[in-house]
Structure 1
Amino acid sequence: MFDVAVIEDPAAAEVSLDPVRARLLAELAEPGSATMLAARVGLARQKVNYHLKTLEQHGLVELVEERRKGNVTERMLQATAASYVISPTALAPVQPDPARAPDRLSARWLLALAARLVRDVGALITGADRAGKRVATFAIDGEVRFASAADRAAFAEELTAAVTGLVSRYHDERATGGRAHRLVVALHPSVGGTTAESGTADGADRAAGPVAGA
């Protein structure tokens, strides 16, 4: 079972969004049968079995064991991942396009970048799984507390300069056998704190972050 799986198929996305099926997926972090799950979620076994078959048809759960009990074979199923992310590919006609209105200070542009990140990394994971390989990625996740909006703006400018310098140093357009990599650096108010902490006092709908592609 994977830690995270990306759902790219629209039908699978629709199936996963059903509240009952989402609950069953959560319960199936550990293997279980229709009978076991029926007792946990308070539904008839036949109803649970129907939902499980639908989830299995769309690759969201898989058979891990069959147990013979008298004249009955009990099927033990498990979710294919501990959690799922729905790729913008599932909504292809209306998926965000960061190229449509690039704006470093727009929170909505940042969201479009994040959506593209989910789409592209999801596609890479799918391809790598089929080939039995791993995807070469790197990420940094941290938090910084600014004393003022001015400090935040200064930080963004220095970060932009630093990243631009690194890209200029390592980018080689003529490298034989080289492979292009997408680089995304983002800065946004933390979510879950007080109004002052989350940055709503000076515009929670704004985010500053340098973005570069190589």
Structure 2
Amino acid sequence: MTKIVVGGRLVGMLEVAVIEEPAAAEASLDPMRSRILAELVEPGSAVMLAGRLGVARQKVNYHLKELERHGLVELVEERRRGNVAERVYRAVAASFVISPVALGAVSPDPARAPDQLSARWLVALGARLVQEVGALLGGAARAQRRVATFAVDAQVRFASAGERAEFAEELTRVVAELVGRYHDEGAVGGRVHRVVVGVHQIPERDPGGPVPMAGAGGAVDAEVGQEDR
């Protein structure tokens, strides 16, 4: 069975699943299979999906078997209609994220070229975040425990590039101060936590809109050792 790391939950299903194995990632990226996964947020059979997607039932059945083989969908019910058994499936999650683990040796490594003003470094930090939190979720699922995490999501509109630069400098000082205050290298039983703070321009919705300026992304990356709460 393909390893899928689970995240939060919706009623009756997972909210997010993090895919770690290359074969499962490839299966989820197939256009028809991704459409099937989207449809199966609500349970459905091959007959129902064939009608919605406008393709032959046999073709849908083939894709369903592949998705089931990789653990992306699950059988929730089997109905008997005369001599025919109708299998009803549901996606294991409402949405999926592919972990950089699936890319193997070509997955991003933030340590290669750390640069606070590089948007590519910010992407590499984000990729590592998915990889590390995905691994934590996998271990927590096996141990039937929850993962202690914390996140802040905010938006800020800068009047100028200068103010953005001042914001980044002040944010760096504040984070460094907090890390210095709470980091305890000798804490018995303490666990190292990673703190990542990123700033990036929100992409324009209009495809013909302006391209974000170089240097618009910034990030602060730090490691903090503290007790789990």
TM band (smaller chain): over 0.9
Superposed counterparts of 1:142-153, under 5 Å: 142-153=154-165
Query: Aligned pair in 2 of structure 1 residues 182, 48: CA closer, same or farther (>3 Å)?
Result: same
Q: Deviations over 1:22-72 (max 9, x none)?
A: 000000000000111011111111110010000000000001111121112
- CA shift, 1:207, in A, is 1.2
Aligned to 2:52: 40
Query: Aligned pair in 2 of structure 1 residues 93, 172: CA closer, same or farther (>3 Å)?
Result: same
Secondary structure of residue in 1 paired with 2:199: coil
- TM-score where L is the length of structure 2: 0.88
- CA shift, 1:199, in A, is 7.3
Residues paired across the two proteins, number: 211
Say which of 85, 92, 102 aligns to 2:97.
85
Is the 2:194–2:221 Cα contact (8 Å) retained in structure 1? no
- CA shift, 1:194, in A, is 7.3
Q: Amino acid of the residue matched to residue 98 of structure 2?
A: I
Unaligned runs of 5+ in 2: 1-12, 225-229
CA distance in 1, matches of 2:178, 2:25: 39
**Bigger Cα displacement from structure 2, 137-146 vs 121-130:** 121-130
CA distance in 2, matches of 1:163, 1:199: 29
Aligned to 1:4: 16
Aligned to 2:67: 55
Superposed counterparts of 1:24-39, under 5 Å: 24-39=36-51
Is the 1:153–1:208 Cα contact (8 Å) retained in structure 2? no
More strand by share: 2
CA distance in 2, matches of 1:154, 1:66: 61
Aligned to 1:177: 189
- TM-score where L is the length of structure 1: 0.94
Identity of aligned residues (%): 65
Secondary structure of residue in 2 paired with 1:180: strand
Secondary structure of residue in 2 paired with 1:183: strand
Superposed counterparts of 1:13-28, under 5 Å: 13-28=25-40
CA distance in 1, matches of 2:56, 2:214: 46
Q: Deviations over 1:129-179 (max 9, x none)?
A: 121111111111110001111111111111111111111111111111111
CA distance in 1, matches of 2:181, 2:42: 48
More helix by share: 1
Does residue 157 of structure 1 match 2:169?
yes
Query: Aligned pair in 2 of structure 1 residues 204, 210: CA closer, same or farther (>3 Å)?
Result: same
